[in-house]
Structure 1
Amino acid sequence: MQQRLLILSVCLIQFFCPFMGNSLNIAVPALSLEYATAPENITWVINVYMIATASFLLPATALANFFGYRNLYFSGCLLASAATFAVPLSPTFSVLLCARVMQGICLSLVFCSSMALLVDKIDKEKRATAIGLVVGAVYAGLSLSPLIAGVIADSLGWRSIFFVTVIGLFAAGVLVKKISKDEPNTHHFNLPKMSLCFLGIALILLSFSIASSHITALILVICGFTFLSIYLFFENKSKHPVFPIKLVMGNRTLTLALGASAFNYMSNFSISLLLALHMQFILGFSASHTGVFLVIQPAIMMVLSSCAGKIAKYMNAHISESVGMALIFTALTLLHFLHPESSLYYMVICQIIAGIGFGLFSAPNTTIVMSSVKREQLALASALQAITRTVGMACCMAILTTILNSYIDAPHDTKLYIRELSDALSFSFMISACIAIIGFAFCFAGLISHQKVK
């Protein structure tokens, strides 16, 4: 019974977080109007959340090892509920961004402990199925969010998206309250060291997002790498490292799987947002109609991920993630040629290919990562995958923000604006396709390494 409650709790988290995030893609026009800012600036609402989450995941891992997986997961759910409730109450765009930062920090507590708790508490023979269900919940959130968010944004307003998410996060916390506590892995927590880690990653990712401001970006990236280098220096000498550098770098399977995950999300995270911009600002679709159309890709991802246990019986995890990455590259290449006169059928085909690709990639990749470490490293593996995934998303949004700011100069609602936006989207898809090639190289290297071990 406890295992079922845990799976349900984690599924709720994995459903509502992408539901909330993907819903913002549909709500771009509403947010732009609400806060009187250009549509391309709304990417910062997603960007700051990704930066905060990625930056705090390693400190959150240290907290998980100190307090225990279950305790941190429970606390994270409640804190994230409060932070999420504050987001729609933001009176200005600046306050909204600050609320999203707090939300990202709170949810990082959940992300670093959820998969670790799942793998620790679920029987080994049921683990692949549980992971498949959890990943399927992610894509269920992605699948339903465009449709539900479109209707909500058009009828109740964008704020309702966050109020619905609060209910889901709070329910997840209530369910896990009945799960038995686990013993902490350590009694050491180094606050100064974790602060250096947080600042280093945050400044580096922020510098990527303002690359067009050359001097400021350069100062931030230098400071970021300085803080991160100092952190890694002390971490390497520590008797109780949160990030055991030599151990992780010596685990080839883990390193290649994490690299594949990072470049996978870096290449395709922006697909839904780019298609939403194309449909709403270039084709003139409403939020609800755009939401209905964007259901296709995540729906396919949800079905395939839910069948991960069955797929694993017929296809090796390394082969599955390699095939998935190749299909994602194909979809991004096709989307590069998207233009205002392209038919909806063309976008449907691209979404189907991308959906199949991501569905074949995600659950096997998670299985590879979590199966490559010992029990005491589960939180670390979970956090590292969340870090690579979130850093990939953050870099993707940083690249997209830079491209949009570089390409678009024309006033909103002009023909020149539409032309510049279309060119920016096309170039973004081309860059994403190039990144997908790197992701495939990591997948293929992991496959070759696995074959040699066998």
Structure 2
Amino acid sequence: MGRSLKLYVLLAATLSSFLTPFMGSSINVALPVIGREFQIDAILQTWIPTAYLLAAAMFSVPFGRLSEIKGMKRIFIYGNAIFFISSLLSALAPNAIFLIIFRLLQGIGSAMMFVTGLAILTRVYPPMERGKVIGINTAAVYVGLSLGPVLGGALTHYIGWRSIFLVTVPITLLVIFIMSRVREEWADAKGEKFDLGGSISYSTFLFLLICGFSLLPDTKASILLIGSIITASIFLWIELNNSSPVFNLRLFKNFTFTFSSLAALINYSATFGVSLLLSYYLQYIKGLTPNIAGLILVTQPVLMALVAPVAGRASDKFNPQKLAGLGMAIISVALFSLTFINPRTPLSMIFASLAVLGIGFGLFSSPNTNAIMSSVEKKYFGIASATVSTMRLIGQSFSIGIVTLILALILGRVKIAPSNFNLLLQSTHISFSVFAILCFIGIFAAMARRKESD
């Protein structure tokens, strides 16, 4: 591959990998302000990030497969265009319902961008350079997470939360321009039939699962969860009897692929809700402004961004499963420390916990992604990339769902006010306890992959 092609692809994929987490982390900081403007309760507030994650999770696998048939570059460019349009619409949203709808559209664009960006990178760079570029790409994710709280908090405080969406517009236009200069196209499954039935059943299964989980303990949740089990069964039947499935389930016969994917799911389920919980804690209980809260929250992703490239390069030389397992163990310690926060907790303790969390996440993510992508044949890079994205997005959705469930059980559907700050803090303690237990279990999933011999 030509050097210019590699650089174009790396730049475009890195910029798009920055955008998707930036939107997630920046909006979390703005949620209290959005809640006050639209006069909505804490439960509806959580649907603003959940809608984005839900749509991205639903469409990652279908677009991962479609990109293999129609072309990765094409889907990547279309995804950026959808992201561009939905960002403008979100900035103009007149109420919370419209904002949630536009966030769903933005999630679809995000899915198209993320699954193809990583797949193209893996396609262009040879195995001996793969860990390095995945580390750079992962660092871009963490830079997005880093700048999200800082820029999101500053923009919300000084200009307004709508400006968060507007700053992404020029970046998407730049990505589209860069990729339009790339002549190559990648479609390893060109001519194969697209599995529409499998795609619909897969997306429906995830929609019912995540919506049902987020609505617990409401009685509607049980109906949705039963529906998700039925559609999951239909999906499995379709995929196992399809010569050109949207998701090749036989990939899960690969020990490394299976346990790396499971570890990623557990990791994101245990960590994504941290910024939301601490945003509430810092702004409601500590009384800090969005920009100050953002500056504190930046500690975690900054350390991630510093550690991820180093861990990525290390995973080319050392066992990536061991590195990922070590990262998961460090994260567990950080999450456990956050179960003790109270109104008098010094900010230095929050900084320290977030720093440890960032180091652990940086050690985990790049080696884990390298393990997944290196465990499959080249023709499966698209679906493997989609799996990485899907595990991340489902995990993030579950993480917000756990927070939503605990808030519903402890706080209820009420606006957050000083009279119920004690219940908000109690919800925070329970959430961090659940996250710490999840991550502890994840250590065993990560370390189990060391038994892989092929």
Partner of 2:204: 199
- How many Å apart are 1:79 and its aligned residue? 1.6
Partner of 1:140: 143
Q: Is the 8 A contact 1:328 1:357 kept in 2?
A: yes
1:318 aligns to 2:321 (yes or no): yes
1:253 aligns to 2:264 (yes or no): no
Q: Is the 8 A contact 1:49 1:103 kept in 2?
A: yes
Match for 2:215 among 207, 210, 230?
210
Partner of 2:50: 47
List runs of 5+ in structure 1 lacking aligned partners: none
Amino acid at match of 2:237: F
- How many Å apart are 1:315 and its aligned residue? 4.2
Q: Is the 8 A contact 2:41 2:413 kept in 1?
A: no
Identity percentage over the alignment?
A: 30
List runs of 5+ in structure 2 lacking aligned partners: none
Secondary structure of the structure 1 residue equivalent to 2:40: coil
Structure 2 CA distance for partners of 1:415 and 1:348, relative to 1, 3 Å: same
Partner of 1:366: 369
Q: Is the 8 A contact 2:188 2:379 kept in 1?
A: no
- How many Å apart are 1:25 and its aligned residue? 1.5
Whole-Å separation in 2 of the counterparts to 1:197 and 1:9? 29
Partner of 1:190: 195
Whole-Å separation in 2 of the counterparts to 1:104 and 1:298? 21
Partner of 1:269: 272
The one-character-per-residue Cα deviations of 1:226-254 (angstroms, maximum 9, x if unpaired) are 12211220111111112222x22210100
**TM-score, length basis structure 2:** 0.95
Whole-Å separation in 1 of the counterparts to 2:274 and 2:230? 33
Amino acid at match of 1:222: I
- How many Å apart are 1:13 and its aligned residue? 0.9
1:430 aligns to 2:443 (yes or no): no
- How many Å apart are 1:169 and its aligned residue? 2.1
What stretches of structure 1 move > 6 A for 4+ residues in a row? Answer: none
Secondary structure of the structure 1 residue equivalent to 2:181: coil
Partner of 1:224: 228
Partner of 1:241: 245
Match for 1:393 among 396, 400, 407?
396
Amino acid at match of 2:231: F
Match for 2:127 among 111, 117, 124?
124
How do 1:22-33 and structure 2 match up within 5 A? 22-33=25-36
Partner of 1:342: 345
1:21 aligns to 2:24 (yes or no): yes
Partner of 2:108: 105
- How many Å apart are 1:323 and its aligned residue? 0.6
Amino acid at match of 1:164: V
Secondary structure of the structure 1 residue equivalent to 2:345: coil
Amino acid at match of 2:254: N
Secondary structure of the structure 1 residue equivalent to 2:167: helix
Match for 2:80 among 77, 95, 102?
77
| Farther off after superposition, 435-444 or 189-198 | 189-198
Partner of 1:92: 95
Q: CA RMSD in A?
A: 1.6
- How many Å apart are 1:38 and its aligned residue? 2.1
Q: Is the 8 A contact 2:60 2:386 kept in 1?
A: yes
**TM-score, length basis structure 1:** 0.95
Q: Is the 8 A contact 1:410 1:417 kept in 2?
A: no
- How many Å apart are 1:284 and its aligned residue? 0.1
Match for 1:403 among 396, 401, 406?
406
Whole-Å separation in 2 of the counterparts to 1:308 and 1:175? 28
1:170 aligns to 2:158 (yes or no): no
- How many Å apart are 1:322 and its aligned residue? 0.6
Whole-Å separation in 2 of the counterparts to 1:20 and 1:52? 14
The one-character-per-residue Cα deviations of 1:289-323 (angstroms, maximum 9, x if unpaired) are 11111111110000011223443366421111011
Secondary structure of the structure 2 residue equivalent to 1:189: coil
Whole-Å separation in 1 of the counterparts to 2:314 and 2:61? 32
| Farther off after superposition, 205-214 or 222-231 | 222-231
Q: Is the 8 A contact 2:131 2:316 kept in 1?
A: no
Secondary structure of the structure 2 residue equivalent to 1:307: helix
Amino acid at match of 1:190: D
The one-character-per-residue Cα deviations of 1:410-443 (angstroms, maximum 9, x if unpaired) are 9656443110000000000000011102211110
Whole-Å separation in 2 of the counterparts to 1:414 and 1:271? 21
Partner of 1:7: 10
Q: How many residues align?
A: 449
